[in-house]
Structure 1
Amino acid sequence: MVYGALPTIDAADVVPGTPVLDVREQAEWDEVHLERAQHIPLSELSARAGEIVVPESGPLVVACHLGGRSAQVVAWLRAQGVDALNLAGGLDEWEARGLPVVRG
């Protein structure tokens, strides 16, 4: 898979406070999301790219359900010069590790 070649970060290695961009669709976000994540669905990304909050220092972690959509965004962001990392396994892996999420 293409995202295997991209820089990734394991859910357990995400430092609290690290900015996260969630690119899942609205229904997925409404079901479960990370508390402080920025939400811009992949389907809206081209129109809303200017809204992406890029950290002044450190990486931007990009997340989706399993890691495929976020990998596309990470590749695009890195081509723009943004230090972006793909969340390995996505929100599915995050939840499987028992890390905190917001439901509903």
Structure 2
Amino acid sequence: MNQIVTSFLVVVAMFVAIDSHAQGADYTTDSLVVVKQQIQEKKALLVDVRDQAEWDRGHLEGALLVPFRKLQKGMTQADVEKVLPKNQIIYTHCAVGARSLGAAGVLKDYGYDVRPLQQGYKELVKEGFPVAK
């Protein structure tokens, strides 16, 4: 019983943290066709905000890993700017969309043109985004 309560509290805390960062960020209205085109034309980057373990199990070709947890726990604007250029659109994605919004809120605060995807990793793969080999 204590494990169930603890798990529930962890999940609630995670959603509160995501919500506090997600304010001011909405899912992109860009279609996945537009997203693919922007990435292909080097006008945009795809940023995976899942954890390292999720990334290691599979990730999208060309995506960059910037875990939401690292953004939450002290990745400064200077740290982010070493990894992500400001002259491209940033499309964030995660497993189901919640962390994508949270990360977008942080990146938006840092001055990025960030457009979170509601679609998660598996859905993007089904939509034809290539998996890294």
Give me the TM-score of the superposition, normalised by structure 1: 0.78
CA drift of 1:7 comes to 4.4
Among 39, 43, 51, the alignment partner of 2:80 is 51
Asked whether 1:101 is paired with 2:128, we answer no
Letter in 2 for 1:47: G
CA drift of 1:101 comes to 1.1
Letter in 1 for 2:119: G
- CA RMSD after TM alignment: 2.4
Structure with bigger gyration radius: 2
Does the C-alpha gap of structure 1 residues 31 and 11 become closer, same or farther in structure 2, counting only changes over 3 Å? farther
Q: Which residue matches 1:37?
A: 63
Stretches of structure 2 that go unaligned for 5 or more consecutive residues are 1-18
Distance between the aligned counterparts of 1:80 and 1:30, measured in 2? 27
Distance between the aligned counterparts of 1:76 and 1:56, measured in 2? 14
More strand as a share of residues: 1
Stretches of structure 1 that go unaligned for 5 or more consecutive residues are none
Q: Which residue matches 2:117?
A: 87
Larger RCO, structure (CA 8 Å, separation 6 or more): 1
Q: Which residue matches 2:34?
A: 13
Among 39, 55, 62, the alignment partner of 2:92 is 62
